[in-house]
Amino acid sequence: MAVKKGDKVKVDYTGKFDDGTVFDTSEGKQPLEFEVGSGMIIKGFDDAVMGMEKGQEKDIRLESKEAYGDVNPALVQKIPRDKLPPEQKPEPGMMVGMMTPDGKQIPARITEVNDKEITIDINHPLAGKTLNFKIKLVEII
């Protein structure tokens, strides 16, 4: 039986960058469970599972537009350093929570720090990246 839209599935996967670095895997964990076509996961991964059969394995390569999108320069912003609490010591790579106008908190990564301002990036950390996945369909629920 092949996977179709609306099926709930369980998959084992390993995600790697082009240089072979693993950025995520289900190895040693429970398989990823999701409803196919529901938008719960990135589009390219979702599309790749469609039509697979239990036990089937597949290698896929997703360009950024099929994964987390391209980097949006509008989501990189500079904030005056005096807007941070004085006890906070920002450093590049550090994650901070930013409040949206409607009161939601979203994660942001600090990319630069100087005496006057910090630069934050609220793009997804995998935005702009090509992703390679090895997928195995474990179960159609």
d(CA 1, CA 42): 23
* pTM listed for this prediction: 0.82
Q: Output the average pLDDT for the chain.
A: 94
pLDDT at 104: 87
Q: How confident is the model at residue 123 (pLDDT cuts 50, 70, 90)?
A: very high
pLDDT at 126: 95
Cβ count within 10 A of residue 32: 19
Helices (H), 14-136: 43-49
pLDDT at 82: 84
pLDDT at 69: 95
Contact partners, residue 22, CB within 8 Å, separation at least 6: 14, 15, 16
Kindly state the DSSP code that residue 71 receives in the 8-state scheme: -
pLDDT at 100: 80
Mean pLDDT over residues 74-88, rounded? 87
Mean pLDDT over residues 82-108, rounded? 85
Residue 79 has pLDDT above 80, yes or no: yes
